[in-house]
Amino acid sequence: MAVLTYRDALNAALREEMHRDENVFLMGEEVAEYNGAYKVSRGLLEEFGPRRVVDTPIAELGFAGIGVGAAMVGLRPVIEMMSMNFALLAIDQIVNAAAKIRYMSGGQIGCPLVMRGPGGAALQLGAQHSQAFESWYAHIPGLKVVMPATPADAKGLLKAAIRDDNPVVFIEGEMLYNMKGEVPDGEYVIPLGRADIKRAGNDVTIICHSKTVAPALNAAKTLSEEGIDAEVIDLRTIRPLDHETILASIARTNRVVVAEEGWGFAGVGAEVVDVIQREAFDALDAPIIRVHQADVPMPYNKHLEKAAKADATKIVAAVHQVCYRN
Amino acid sequence: MEVTQAPARAKRRGPDAPFANQYHAWLRTMVLIRHFEEKAGEAYALGQIGGFCHLYIGQEAVAVGTLAALRPDDYVISAYREHGQALARGMTPRSVMAELFGKATGCSKGKGGSMHLFDASINFMGGHGIVGGQIPLGAGFAFAAKYRGTDQVSLTYFGEAAVNIGSFHEALNMAGLWKLPAIFVIENNGYGMGTALKRASAITELYRRAASYGMPGVEVDGQDVVAVKQATDDAVAHARAGAGPTLLEIKTFRYVGHSMSDAASGTYRSKEELDSSRQRDPIVLLEMRMRELGMLDDDSVKKLEAEVIEEIADAVKFAEESPEPEPGALWTDVYAPATT
């Protein structure tokens, strides 16, 4: 087991899967000669050559569509988006083609594609570069949506995403790339659709994913000093959503906070809350509280930006609310 | 600009000999498409076909001429006016008509409909409903062929209105940049829904757009199936040789409205214009040629018509009698079957 950054864990997953399967290739802006805008693809051009590590023009719709086409005829493209904000230009190909080809063709043609890149906010990148779009993709039947929060999960989930026969939207984070952690060597594949209990606890369940996992764990630490034992569930896969892990936790804790980076309106948390109210209504001892970005475009000013983002302080406050503590 | 890449108007070349043995088959397919579409129009009016339905009447030589130039292992993809191409590629009238009727026996099990005909067994990679959306997919098939080192080509159909959307520009740029084995076919029937080309495009000689993407651009008479076949042969040879893509602007007419919900003429085009376009009917033109060559007479025309009418009647009967999809079909084919 080596200590790797999240970035290098992704790099290891790509390298291993490209060795394993000749059909896997990486395509996107600056992935080859520049070694990746965030260096996720560092060294891959040298190792695999320009046939399998393909620099593209700035044309997200076009190269996403070329990836979808290649996947329809049996290749396994990994399409890197420099930012999920730019992937909005490509969303027609993902939603109208990738997600529906299998259904529209009566099951004849699949689309084993991974579209990956950083989503959500970093620091002071302003309104157009700070958006979390996972709920947009998770809304679409036919897609899977995966969001690792740790280096080990990044490796294990990317390997699973590449091997999956469905189109997978794999959302990373600029603020996660430098995170270090232990990562199993070699064959380490985490099945999609399974949440992970990042911290076990009995008093309250904090459900989170991606960049809200670290603040949730920090919040849990603070809460433990107050005598509140929080369980932290990292969804890891947004679609399909792991109902079982969520419901099993709530059966013990009876109190829930749902945290996410993006906006609340029609967000991932809204779906999680719906599942809970339908399937665990009687287990709840308090209304569920959600923590999410303020319902405004992301401001540039650092104080305003901090005020807009979900963080550990806001999660702690939400837990106090569901535990009726002030 | 390299001379070999200069856009050009294709002139029909030479004698009939290389293709004449295929004329009967082409004529039959064009007549089949014409009758199929007329019957589909009737079935739509009767409520047997729902949704949107875009007919191919008038454009038959484009599908037949282009697809005659492909091998079975090549890839074909189109937009939503694709019944004719599906039939010309080799899908059966039964399979297509049953899909239009939404039946379980349809090519897409009744889940696709008129705009989403697929047959993976002959690499017919679908009808697609978002204007221009299929163009990058077609480039993607060509990318895959090149990646694998096969000599397959990918042929992508779209209407002339699609040249103004970003997917056209992005896909053709990358296809030209990477010399992908692709043939991009503009079926220029003059109107994007009700908008005449000159009201939508800054230039109306669309084959000239190829110059921006470093590929040959060729204007083709789409009413002449032989000219279409010749131009596509050239493009296919170019692609198989590794020389990259070609843009074909195939000029044609649709005799009918954009879809079943608008009249053939009266609002955005005049009856006179429509009547004049019918003067160069692709089926009549091929018939005349074959008669000149002594390959066709009144009896053989009658026989062919009778056969085709029977085949289409059989397709309609098959579609009518086929079962609806099982209720459980609603939930299948969303995701790949679990492999573990």
ipTM for the predicted complex? 0.97
- pLDDT tens track of chain A, all 326 residues? 899 999 999 999 999 999 999 999 999 999 999 999 999 999 999 999 999 999 999 999 999 999 999 999 999 999 999 999 999 999 999 999 999 999 999 999 999 999 999 999 999 999 999 999 999 999 999 999 999 999 999 999 999 999 999 999 999 999 999 999 999 999 999 999 999 999 999 999 999 999 999 999 999 999 999 999 999 999 999 999 999 999 999 999 999 999 999 999 999 999 999 999 999 999 999 999 999 999 999 999 999 999 999 999 999 999 999 999 97
| Whether residue A129 lies in the annotated active site | yes
Where is average pLDDT lowest: A68-82, B147-161, B245-259, B265-279? B265-279
- Domains of chain A (ranges plus CATH)? 2-183 (3.40.50.970), 196-322 (3.40.50.920)
Tell whether the torsion through CA atoms of A285, A286, A288 and A290 is positive or negative.
negative
Give the sheet arrangement for strand A289-293, strand by strand. Answer: A196-199, A230-234, A204-208, A256-263, A289-293
Which residue in chain B is spatially nearest to A103 when comparing CA positions? B333
| Closest CA–CA distance from residue A108 to any residue of chain B (Å) | 6
A59 contacts in B (CB within 8 Å)? Answer: 170, 173-174
Residue B326 lies in a domain: no
Chain B neighbors of A66, CB-CB under 8 A: 136-137, 139-140, 143, 171, 174
Domain-embedded: residue B331: no
Which 3 state secondary structure label does DSSP give B78?
strand
Nearest to B93 by CA among B333, B307, B330: B307
Tell me whether residue B290 is in a domain. yes
Classify B322 as helix, strand or coil.
Answer: coil
Is B6 a residue whose pLDDT tops 60? no
pLDDT for B2 equals 40
Domain CATH for B283 = 3.40.50.970
Q: State the Cα angle at B335 between B331 and B340, rounded to 5°.
A: 115
Mean of pLDDT over chain B: 94
Give yes or no for residue B65 having a pLDDT over 80. Answer: yes
Count of the separate structural domains present in chain B:
1
Number of A–B residue contacts, CB under 8 Å: 143
Report pLDDT for B339.
61
Residue A116 is given by DSSP the state E
B182 inside 8 A of chain A by CB = no
Helix, strand or coil for residue A21? coil
A209 in catalytic set: no
Residues from chain B contacting residue A102 (CB–CB below 8 Å)? 333-336
Question: Could you list the residue range(s) of the whole structural domain that residue B22 is in?
Answer: 3-321
**DSSP E strands, chain A:** 2-5, 24-28, 53-55, 76-80, 114-118, 144-146, 168-172, 180-183, 196-199, 204-208, 230-234, 237-239, 256-263, 289-293
Would B311 be classed as within a structural domain? yes
Question: In angstroms, rounded to a whole number, what is the distance separating the alpha carbons of residues B26 and B61?
Answer: 8
Residue B175 located in a structural domain: yes
- Is B332 within the bounds of a domain? no
Q: Which residue of A has its CA nearest to B122?
A: A108
HSE at residue B150, side-chain half, CA atoms within 13 A, is 15
pLDDT tens sequence across B164-179: 999 999 999 999 999 9
d(CA B16, CA B19): 6
Classify residue B161: in a domain, yes or no: yes
Residue B339 lies in a domain: no
Residues 113-152 of B with CB under 8 A from A: 116, 118-120, 125-126, 128-130, 133-141, 143-144, 147
Query: Which residues of chain B make contact with A65, given a CB cutoff of 8 A?
Result: 133, 135-137, 139-140, 167, 170-171
CB within 8 Å: B144 and A74:
yes
